């Protein structure tokens, strides 16, 4: 098996460049974890633009969003020198391995993926592409190319990680030890952020309205307004009780996570006070978190030459790691290897 470049375990994750701005859910549920984990792991982070075209292609938007997503990763604390940060389509080995893995995936097996079932139902048969169907196989290729041990993802990706593990085990037992079997790294439930307007639904870019979505790149005035208009309840008491008081509990969770304080500590500070006070306090915390990230993102996007250079160099480093795995796969299945060419 190919050896990782450092003795730290390999960690791999990615997000689609499918919105102009990452939102608070992405920030709390994914990005802040990645930033912490990059110190303990040999970390690789990818802007998965090939996954992003499975539900339609808008070239200008895709170009902008790919760079903007990468800039937001860096602005939030991903260190492109320490970690490997790159754009998926810059490393052709992903598509190459995905083809091979696709030829080892059962049609029925892929048909059982619940995300595909949900999305294809939503899009209708005309807009459901073969790419959307094979999306999880490409994700498996992303992970397996780097001999990944840990994959931090949201709970919605659990089934895709299971498929990745099954494919790796299938390949290894048929053709000999080739892939490391990865593990999903699913954050605790309290890392989940809910929509400010519908606090029983996960905060998501596909929500029916933007009013409940806090975007990193929103102006501070906009985020403050959204926080001040967040849905609460009628009993007027500030305490953490997600069942009975989902709105207030969500505000308290966000407050605690962003300020790095204990939930009880925040709840105690605001106990006996009005919802307006809590919202004002939270709006300040959101502003203090997002404003520096927004400023840094804008600086990075102002110097596209430098940002592109950083991503190219990330892709070079990623290819150095991916190519030996693909070569071994080719050898195992009877394709010519680089040594033969």
Should residue 332 be labelled a site residue for ligand AMP when binding is judged by CB under 6 A?
A: no
Q: How far is CA 195 from CA 18, 215, 226, in A?
A: 18, 12, 11
Site residues for ligand TRP, 13-42, by CB under 6 A, read: 13-16
Q: How far is the CB of 161 from ligand TRP (least distance, A)?
A: 8
139 binding partner (options ligand AMP, ligand TRP, none; Cβ < 5 to 8 Å by kind): ligand TRP
CA gap 304, 38 in Å, rounded: 24
β-pair partners for 14: 46
- Of 102 and 154, the one with the shorter C-beta distance to ligand AMP is 154
Q: How far is the CB of 118 from ligand AMP (least distance, A)?
A: 12
Cβ neighbourhood burial of 3 (10 Å; 0-12, 13-18, 19+): exposed
On whether the CB atoms of residues 300 and 74 are closer than 8 A, the answer is: yes
Taking CB under 6 A as the criterion, the residue among 11, 15, 196, 318 binding ligand AMP is 15
- Of 204 and 259, the one with the shorter C-beta distance to ligand TRP is 204
Should residue 153 be labelled a site residue for ligand TRP when binding is judged by CB under 6 A?
A: yes
Q: How far is the CB of 16 from ligand TRP (least distance, A)?
A: 6
Q: How far is the CB of 31 from ligand AMP (least distance, A)?
A: 8
25 binding partner (options ligand TRP, ligand AMP, none; Cβ < 5 to 8 Å by kind): ligand AMP
On whether the CB atoms of residues 110 and 134 are closer than 8 A, the answer is: yes
Site residues for ligand TRP, 101-140, by CB under 6 A, read: 139
Site residues for ligand AMP, 193-212, by CB under 6 A, read: 193, 202-204
- Of 54 and 253, the one with the shorter C-beta distance to ligand TRP is 54
Secondary structure in 3-state letters for 135-195: HHHHHHHHHHCCCCCEEECCHHHHHHHHHHHHHHHHHHHHHCCCCCCCEEECCCHHHCCEC
CA gap 130, 86 in Å, rounded: 25
Q: How far is the CB of 340 from ligand TRP (least distance, A)?
A: 30
The neighbour count for residue 281, using CB atoms within 10 Å, is: 18
Q: How many CA atoms lie less than 13 Å away from 307 in the CB half-sphere?
A: 22
Should residue 115 be labelled a site residue for ligand AMP when binding is judged by CB under 6 A?
A: no
Should residue 191 be labelled a site residue for ligand AMP when binding is judged by CB under 6 A?
A: yes
Which residues make up the interface to ligand AMP (CB under 6 A)? 15-16, 25-26, 28-30, 153-154, 191-193, 202-204
């Amino acid at each position: 098996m190919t050896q990782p470049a450092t003795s730290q375990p390999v960690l791999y994750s990615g997000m689609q460049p499918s919105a102009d701005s990452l939102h608070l859910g992405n920030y709390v549920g994914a990005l802040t974890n990645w930033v912490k984990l990059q110190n303990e792991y040999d970390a690789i982070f990818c802007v998965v633009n090939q996954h992003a075209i499975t539900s339609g292609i808008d070239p200008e938007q895709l170009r902008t969003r790919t760079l903007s997503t990468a800039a937001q990763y860096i602005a939030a604390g991903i260190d492109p020198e320490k970690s490997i940060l790159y754009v998926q389509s810059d490393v052709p080995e992903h598509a190459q391995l995905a083809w091979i893995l696709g030829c080892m995936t059962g049609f029925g097996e892929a048909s059982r993926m619940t995300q595909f079932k949900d999305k294809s139902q939503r899009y209708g048969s005309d807009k459901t592409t073969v790419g959307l169907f094979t999306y999880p196989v490409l994700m498996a290729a992303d992970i397996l190319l780097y001999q990944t041990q840990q994959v931090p993802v949201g709970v919605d990706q659990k089934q895709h990680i299971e498929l990745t593990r099954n494919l790796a085990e299938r390949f290894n037992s048929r053709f000999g030890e080739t892939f490391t079997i990865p593990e999903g790294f699913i954050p605790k439930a309290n890392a989940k952020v809910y929509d400010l307007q519908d606090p029983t639904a996960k905060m998501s870019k596909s929500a029916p309205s933007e009013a409940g979505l806090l975007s990193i790149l929103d102006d501070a005035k906009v985020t403050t307004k959204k926080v001040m208009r967040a849905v609460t309840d009628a009993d007027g008491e500030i305490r953490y009780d997600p069942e009975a008081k989902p709105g207030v509990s969500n505000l308290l969770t966000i407050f605690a996570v962003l300020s790095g304080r204990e939930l009880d500590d925040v709840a105690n500070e605001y106990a006996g006070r009005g919802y307006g006070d809590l919202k004002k306090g939270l709006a300040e915390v959101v502003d203090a978190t997002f404003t520096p990230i927004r400023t840094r993102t804008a600086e990075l996007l102002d110097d596209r030459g430098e940002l592109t250079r950083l991503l190219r160099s990330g892709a070079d480093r990623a290819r150095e790691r991916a190519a030996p795995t693909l070569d071994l796969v080719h050898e195992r299945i009877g394709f010519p290897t680089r040594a033969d060419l």
